[in-house]
Amino acid sequence: MNNKITVRGLDDVSNLLTQIAPNQAQNIIRATVHDMAKQVRDDAKAGMPEDEGTMKKGTKHKRERAMRGSARSTVRVGGAFYWRFLEYGQGPDGMAYDFFFKAVNKMRSNMVPQFLEAFGDKFEKALARARKRQ
């Protein structure tokens, strides 16, 4: 019995996902988008000014309800309404920290390699789980 699967190129990946495992494809894309949001969250947290920890602790990435086959995840700051003032330089010190702006620009500048790396990792794990089940 041969349990080996060979995938060569994007056409094979697309074929596997659309014809063999469409539900797995949606799960992989959803997890990949969530990982991208996590990277934005981590970059934003790194650029946040030090405070009592309320803003850093309250910054979370959240999976949103998908609309017609799309995957959505957001980054939110909870419990620290003042993050907007710090982001745009309207806080007590007058400095613009623009941590979300920098995090989003960092993600946009190398989004394709990050997305492909995260997608490849999730795809590889999904294939390993599928092989284990058989």
Q: Any idea where the domains of the chain sit in the sequence?
A: 9-133
pLDDT at 74: 92
The closest of 96, 95, 107, 110 to 43, measured between CA atoms, is: 107
Chain segment 24-83, per-residue pLDDT in tens: 778 888 888 999 999 999 999 999 888 767 899 999 999 998 777 788 999 999 888 888
Q: Six-digit token pair at 117?
A: 């790396």
Rounded CA separation 104/7 (Å): 32
pLDDT at 1: 47
Distances (CA, A) of 22 to 15, 18, 29, 55, 126: 10, 5, 11, 39, 12
Specify the pairing of strand 72-77 against strand 59-64: antiparallel
130 pLDDT above the threshold of 90? no
pLDDT at 61: 94
